[in-house]
Amino acid sequence: MAYLGSTPENQSFTSGTDYFNGNGISVAFTLSRPVASVNDIEVVISNVVQQPSTAYTVSGTTITFTSAPPAGTSNVYARYMSTATQTITPSPGTVGTSQISPSLTNVPFFGGSTIGAGNATGMKNRLINGGMVLDQRNAGASVTPTDGQYLVDRWVSTVSQASKLTAQQSSVAPTGFSASQLITSSSAYSIGSADIFAISQKIEGFNFVDMAWGTASAKTVTLSFKVRSSLTGTFGGSFTNAANNRAYPFLYSISTADTWTSISVTVPGDTTGTWIGATSGIAVRVWLGLGGGSTYSGAAAGWSTGPYFTATGATSVVGTSGATFYVTGVQLEEGNAATSFEFVDYGRQLQMCQRYYQNSFPAGTAPFSPASPTGSNVGLYTWKITMVSSGYGTYYTIPLVAPMRASPSIVGYNGGNNNNKVRQMPGAVDFTVTSVTAFSNTGFVLLFYGGAGDGTGNPVGWNWSASAEL
């Protein structure tokens, strides 16, 4: 069949004539093909051309005469003049994905409130870096995260006990993806009642306000992702609000070890509780559990008031030494069904991540201090200055790469020594940083003082990172 967005199956007009035998009684005859208009055929009765609409009408494949043609053999005929392009307006709700051509890659229209939903683009996915392609902090290196430490961009760890797992951006990924977040258990840890291990992403209020959670108009959402583990069984996760006093735990299954599995979880919007609206605060937090005790595990598939970050009965990844857990293609969208993953171009994805975290280092270089190798000037933000004399202060205004969610916290890095000092590169002299003050979400001011050994006109440099995470 033909689909919306595909080339019509009949692209050219095929001539033809249908002959009928009049009997002086019948007024309706069946054409061999449907026509859209009376002007698409020429009708002749006993060698007399009939006037369209007056002598006959058509509907699909049926031609109906005002008066019954007289009796005769093949004395009535209809000659096809054209095949008109038909414009069809489907009834609301009757066009789904099965009626759209698989080759259609761009939907050039949006329908009011459906922007960002279904197969539309325009922030369909409310999660950022769901494909795990950006890792500004670690650049692919394995880390043993502390509680609250960020992994790949926008994804943060929650660990109630130290050194029970490692995390790393991985190139092991399903077809169509280039990266995943890998979690590896470091021991066979026995979960206590107050333990929780998880990764999660906090979604900003401005990016979720249209879901109207906390109201009678709360919308249903669907979380989908691709997961792979060396373990099999039932795994858990959850949705929570900013205060963690509203939670929707969920369960999902991995039936085959070391095999990518597609997961889809549909969550009805919460009509009660306190949910942040159009602000830069936390609207909702999406959790993927790695092991949790009874304090932080709740009954699946229902809203509750507890601070639940995973579901009761979920498999503990940290309970098996060497167990692996990979995840990518994480998408949260409006609606009660998962659609294809929304791929966002790398540049735009990077800018979206830089709203929450950015640094002065080149892409693919994790922030470091001291440099490796020691003395390297990689990523240094440099100025050429003229010191008046030792002990005089110098102010520099440093613009951020992209506007951030809020005024950020700044961390400085030295290219040669393990300290937060400005480096004079020719003489390897360190100048004390007195203050770093973010004056807005677009930049900050650095104040440092010269010291013994400073040189007139020599370039100095300093590395930095800025965080405005939720």
**What pTM was estimated for this model as a whole?**
0.76
Is the pLDDT reported for residue 395 higher than 60? Answer: yes
What would the pLDDT profile of 49-67 be if each residue is shown by its tens digit? 999 999 999 999 999 999 9
Please report, as a single letter, which amino acid is at residue 285: R
Q: How confident is the model at residue 36 (pLDDT cuts 50, 70, 90)?
A: confident
Mean pLDDT confidence for 361-366: 87
Q: In this structure, which topology does domain 358-467 adopt according to CATH? A: Immunoglobulin-like (2.60.40)
pLDDT value at 87 more than 90:
no
Q: What is the pLDDT of residue 433?
A: 87
Q: How many CA atoms lie within 13 A of 88 on its CB side?
A: 12
pLDDT in the model for residue 388: 44
pLDDT-derived band at 23 (thresholds 50, 70, 90) equals very high
Sorted by sequence, the CB contacts under 8 Å of residue 74 that are 6+ apart come out as 19, 20, 21
Write the CATH number of the domain with boundaries 125-354. 2.60.120.260
> What is the per-residue pLDDT for 448?
82
Question: Before 373, cis peptide (omega within 30)?
Answer: yes
- What percentage of the chain exceeds 70 in pLDDT? 80
Distance in angstroms (rounded) separating the CA atoms of residues 159 and 147: 5
> What gap in Å lies between CA 350 and CA 402, rounded to an integer?
10
Asked if residue 123 has pLDDT above 80, the reply is: yes
Sorted by where each begins, the domain ranges of the chain are 1-105, 125-354, 358-467
In terms of DSSP bridges, do strands 233-240 and 221-229 run parallel, antiparallel, or are they unpaired? unpaired
- The band of 420, judged by pLDDT with boundaries at 50, 70 and 90, is confident
In tens, the pLDDT along 162-202 reads 999 999 999 999 999 999 999 999 999 999 999 999 999 99
**Alpha-carbon distances, residue 421 vs 49, 99, 149, 173, 446 (angstroms):** 97, 63, 24, 40, 11
**What's the CA gap between 321 and 331, in Å, rounded?**
29
Residue whose entry in the numeric block shows the structure tokens 């950015």? 358
**Average pLDDT across the chain, whole number:** 87
Locate 39 and state its tokens.
Answer: 């002007």
Q: Is the pLDDT of residue 216 over 50?
A: yes
**Burial of 114 (C-beta count, 10 Å sphere; 0-12/13-18/19+):** middle
Average pLDDT rounded to a whole number, residues 130-156: 98
Segment 423-464, tens digit of pLDDT = 777 767 778 888 999 989 999 998 887 665 555 566 777 889
What's the pLDDT score for residue 318? 98
Q: What percent of the chain is predicted at pLDDT more than 90? A: 68
Which of 344, 378, 381 has its CA nearest to residue 363?
A: 378
**Rounded alpha-carbon distances, angstroms, from residue 412 to 30, 78, 145, 434, 439:** 83, 85, 21, 12, 16
| pLDDT on residue 208 | 98
Query: Residue 1 pLDDT more than 60?
Result: no
